[in-house]
Structure 1
Amino acid sequence: MKKVKYKMGKLGKHYFMKKYSQINTLLPDTEAATKSNILNMMQKYDSLYLKPDEGTGGRGIFKIAKTVNGFVLRGGTSSRNYHTLDALYNSLHKFIYKHKYVVQQGIHLLKHDGRSFDIRVMVQKNRSGQLETTGIVGRLAKPGKIVTNFHSGGTPLPIDTLLKSHLSGVERTNFIKKIESLGREASIILGESYKSKKAFGVDIAIDSNMKPWILEINTGPDMSIFNMLKDKTMYRRILMYSKF
């Protein structure tokens, strides 16, 4: 049987990682953004995200959510209402087909000061070629924005700060360790398909039940977000590892 070679955009990475039982329950449902997939998934979930299969930096992302009398489509800071999902899809289909989009189950992100946030875990190869977690940072969405990315106005903050209102001291420390090791484990798995890559940026969402979700793994992660933190310890470590 011919081995399937995944084109490793978001969807290819998702299918690859889904085969591993250690993490497959932590991956949000993700499919190609066809009309039938969007309709089916909207019946299962309160909200969906539409993302470019190969995009980075939070650009070109849309969110679809149910409203009292239909659906709302949000992108950037603007939103439009539609009575039916058909009408919503028709307004978008040429664009999402041309730019090859995926549709992903929406996660109810944990909030800090009423704003959503997620987490970026940096994982890098050490001197002996083993993957190690070298950094972890929270990304707080700009008010009114649907994405947390730094390049879309998100604010990088210490993860400890963002989790303060959700977990007590010891719980928080243990939870952060859990997220760091999850980032490493997910990177080791995806690394099976990316043997030559030396760094992975794992985007992890925490839902309102404190369940972590692996949203995406970047194989060319931006280090500059760590330089935005007041404490430069992590950034210096990441720079040092990038030379190995």
Structure 2
Amino acid sequence: MKKVKYKMGKLGKHNFMKRFNAINTFLPDTRIASKSNIKTMIRLYESLYLKPDEGTGGHGIYKITKTKKGYSLRSGTATRYFNSIDTLYRSLHILLTKEKYVVQKGIDLLKHNKRGFDIRVMVQKNSNNILIPTGIIGRLAKPKKIVTNYHSGGTPLPIDKLLKSHLKGDSRIKYIKNMELLSKKASHVLGKSYRRKRAFGVDIAIDSKLKPWILEINTEPDMSIFNTLKNKTMYKRILGYSKIKG
């Protein structure tokens, strides 16, 4: 495969990673947020997420969901209802023409205390430039919020605690290890384009059937979320790896 050098937003990263069989089955359908793509995808899936292509921190995100009488559009804690996808799109038209957005298949997130959560895995290069998973943390959505991001009110929690009601003992330990391995694999793939990056923040959603989905990979991951945990071992390890020069 010839070397392709992308410097990309969410869609560019998605399209680059989709070419690799090692991870493409873990990538949710993601396209440019055009009217035709939104119409096509809402026929295929129960819900969709609209995200700024370049956005971070969970800002500017919308969720479209099918309802009995039409569609709902959620942003923050506010919800609006529309009887057709055309009227819903009209309400977003100015936003979507002003800024590049992507539309992504909605994942029915695994729940903890009736609130959805996802996972952030930190993957960093060691002194031999080998990628190592150095931290894993869960992000629990604020009640009635559609995003889990720490800076949008999400609560960082140990992943073991969030998975406890879904997986028991050894199977939970093995599952967490598999999340780390998937994140390492995905970081290795994206690292083919971002060769100078030494850290990747892999965001993983787990659906109600326990299938992991790689939502996106951050090439400038925020380490501070790991400092919120009472046990500082993980944060200290991440900090130590961040000081290694390539």
> C-alpha displacement at 1:4, in angstroms?
6.7
Contact 2:121 2:203 in 1 (8 A): yes
> C-alpha displacement at 1:6, in angstroms?
3.8
Describe the SS at the equivalent of 2:109: coil
Is 1:177–2:200 an aligned residue pair?
Answer: no
Q: TM-score, normalised by structure 1?
A: 0.98
Match of 2:210 in 1: 210
Match of 2:186 in 1: 186
Q: Which amino acid aligns with 1:94?
A: I
Residues 26-64 of structure 1, C-alpha deviation per residue, up to 9 Å, x if partnerless? 100000000000000000000000000000000000000
Describe the SS at the equivalent of 1:55: coil
Describe the SS at the equivalent of 1:143: coil
Q: TM-score, normalised by structure 2?
A: 0.97
Q: In the aligned structure 2, how far is the partner of 1:168 from the partner of 1:202?
A: 24
Q: In the aligned structure 1, how far is the partner of 2:4 from the partner of 2:98?
A: 24
> C-alpha displacement at 1:3, in angstroms?
8.2
Describe the SS at the equivalent of 2:235: helix
Match of 1:51 in 2: 51
Following superposition of structure 1 onto structure 2, how do residues 1-244 of structure 1 map, counting pairs within 5 Å? Answer: 6-244=6-244
Contact 2:4 2:193 in 1 (8 A): no
Describe the SS at the equivalent of 2:92: helix
Report runs of 4+ in structure 1 exceeding 6 Å deviation. Answer: none
Change in 2 beyond 3 A, CA 1:32/1:5: farther
Q: In the aligned structure 2, how far is the partner of 1:181 from the partner of 1:24?
A: 15
Q: In the aligned structure 1, how far is the partner of 2:6 from the partner of 2:196?
A: 16
For structure 1, the 5+ residue unaligned runs are none
Q: Which amino acid aligns with 1:151?
A: H
Q: Which amino acid aligns with 2:234?
A: M
Q: In the aligned structure 2, how far is the partner of 1:3 from the partner of 1:241?
A: 28
Contact 2:46 2:65 in 1 (8 A): yes
